[in-house]
Amino acid sequence: MKLFDVYPLFDVNIVKGEGCRVWDDRGQEYLDLYGGHAVISIGHCHPHYINKVGEQMGRLGFYSNSVINKLQAELAGRLGRISGYDDYQLFLINSGAEANENALKLASFSNGRTRILSAEKAFHGRTSLAVEATANPNIIAPVNANGHVTYLPLNDLAAWEAELQKGDVCACIIECIQGVGGIKLATEEFAQGLQAACRRNGTVLICDEIQCGYGRSGKFFAHQWLGIRPDIITVAKGIANGFPVGAVLISPEFTPKYGQLGTTFGGNHLACAAALAVLDVMESSDLVENARHTGEYLMTRLKDLQQSQPHITDVRGRGLMIGIELDIPQKPIRERLVYEQHVFTGCTGTNLLRLLPPLCFTEDMADEFIEKLTNVL
């Protein structure tokens, strides 16, 4: 059988990782400012993570959601405390798309409505309603184009308010820092105005923190920079450092009903052990604060580079989620970074390099990256 060929691949076979570095099968080392697409939060192969996941694997990898799993309750308690959402409820699944799918279902169960507002350039995943909320017609299959979603420009509060006033909107879903959309930041004024308009009109506000959350922005959640408290928050990616876990944080306004949501694999013992180990390391190594100050350092160095490097037209982001906009296509730059300089970065669109390193990234690594980017530019 052949693989279903949907991914354009770099000609590199990564076989080993440690911290913010990975190695290919020929022993070549790479600096990782991509983190396997913002997934590696505490660093590759962290020893505490390996121990905790290994120990759990030796004890019990999986049992179903039909019995008590104390690791889930422990994770809910720890996550509530560290994120500032102690009073919220946790529902565990396996991916980001599933998190958004369940968040939107829950919103619709709660207010009986079917219309969704989403931002232009948003990315919310590839399952049925999550993909419909994703403003990219190329990945919405005809069966998913069900007319539930109106796309509006991020930060155009008047446009969102006008739709909300109609009184039929089930949920608004936003990324406070758009990832795939090109590191576009929601403003404080927009976020606070949107929250107020949602409350006035009985609409559920969902913040998709799958890429920008879990410490990456330099606060636990990116929306915490904006002074809002959404009704539902979705997370995935960094939550378990590569073990597939997604989660929905749900306000106390929602009352759970048996059978309303469910999953076979979600919240399994191994997944919880991985997610708990991530929280251990995030706390003991103060990784949210590290993302904030190392991110600021990297951003400052990039802005300095912009002064001498005319191909850089903009540098924007928060914490360790940074976009470098170029006046030339990013593809050859990104390829030369990998093949010549041995650095992985992300990208989006034709002109933007997207930096999403592990949250343990250091200032020395930032200097190393600046040197290598300068070589290529």
Ligand X SMILES: Cc1ncc(COP(=O)(O)O)c(C=O)c1O
Return residues touching ligand X (CB under 6 A).
Answer: 95-97, 100, 123-125, 175, 179-180, 208, 210-211, 236
Least distance between ligand X and beta carbon 303 (Å): 25
Q: Which is nearer to ligand X, 75 or 131 (CB)?
A: 131
Least Cβ distance, residue 306 to ligand X (angstroms):
26
Closest residue to bound ligand X by CB:
96
Report in angstroms how near the CB of residue 198 gets to ligand X at its nearest. Answer: 19
In angstroms, what is the C-alpha Rg of the chain?
20
Minimum distance from residue 249 beta carbon to ligand X (Å): 14
Pairing mode, strands 204-208 and 232-235? parallel
Alpha-carbon gap, residue 214 to 221, rounded angstroms: 6
Cα dist. 296→160, 293, 302, 320, 340 in Å? 31, 5, 10, 8, 27
**CA separation for the pair 4, 33 (Å, rounded):** 27
Degrees, nearest 5: CA angle 141-109-162: 75
Cβ proximity of 354 and 181 under 8 Å = no
Dihedral, 287, 220, 224, 156 alpha carbons, nearest 10? 100
Compute the least distance from the CB of residue 5 to ligand X, in Å: 18
Which of 122, 124, 120, 127 lies closest to 141, judged by CA? Answer: 127
Nearer to ligand X, 37 or 81 (CB): 37
Query: Quick one: 39 or 365, whose CB is closer to ligand X?
Result: 39
Which lies closer to ligand X via its Cβ, residue 125 or residue 230? 125
Nearer to ligand X among residue 178 and residue 351 (C-beta): 178
Length of the chain, please?
Answer: 377
Which residue's CB is nearer to ligand X, number 178 or number 290? 178
Asked if 171 and 206 count as a contact pair (C-beta separation under 8 A), the reply is: yes
Q: Which of 223, 142, 140, 132 is nearest to 171 (CA)?
A: 132
CB of 180 to ligand X, least distance (A): 6
- Please say which residue, 97 or 352, places its beta carbon nearer to ligand X: 97
Q: How far is the CB of 366 from ligand X (least distance, A)?
A: 23
- Closest approach, Cβ 237 to ligand X, in A, equals 6
Determine the angle formed by the axes of helices 157-164 and 188-200, rounding to 10 degrees: 10
Q: For residue 321, what are the β-bridge partners?
A: 318
Q: Is 377 exposed, middle or buried (0-12, 13-18, 19+ CB in 10 A)?
A: middle
Nearer to ligand X, 125 or 266 (CB): 125
Q: What number of other Cβ atoms are within 10 A of residue 269's Cβ?
A: 18
* In the complex, minimum distance from the CB of residue 200 to ligand X, in angstroms, rounded to a whole number: 26
Which CB atom, from 35 or from 179, has the smaller least distance to ligand X?
179
